[in-house]
Amino acid sequence: MELEHEFKLKSDDLPSILSIKTFFLEIANGKKLTQDAVNALMYGLYFYGYLCALENLKKADPEFDLPNNLRSHPVLIAADRWAQKATDFDLLNQIAQPVIKITQDLLIELD
């Protein structure tokens, strides 16, 4: 596999779309969310998955250059925009805390 050859990284080390969707279902389980909140949560989870991929690439190759726009990445900006539009922002903020925390931790680690 090209990924393993080039980056010394196995695809199993990266979060899949299926695992991100599963994480979403665990977080949103039984909650009645607006479409704006759902969009914000999914964008946030996709960004988290992107950061996990970058983290794994950096671990596999310490010389790997990280993008310099992580805190202003378009997907993160879109997640924030959707969250601000959500009329159920308080519920979204409450259930998204685990995602927010791990995303912030990864951003700090990757800085």
Chain length of the chain: 111
- Total number of domains constituting the chain: 1
Q: What is the pLDDT of residues 5-24, one digit of tens each?
A: 555 555 555 566 677 788 88
Query: pLDDT, tens digit, for every residue of 23-78?
Result: 888 888 888 999 999 999 999 998 998 899 899 889 888 898 998 889 999 999 99
- Supply the range of the domain harboring residue 75: 2-8+15-110
Cβ burial 55-86 (10 Å sphere, 16+ → b, else e): bbbbebeeeeeeeeebeeeeebebbeebbeeb
Does this model's pTM top 0.95? My answer is no
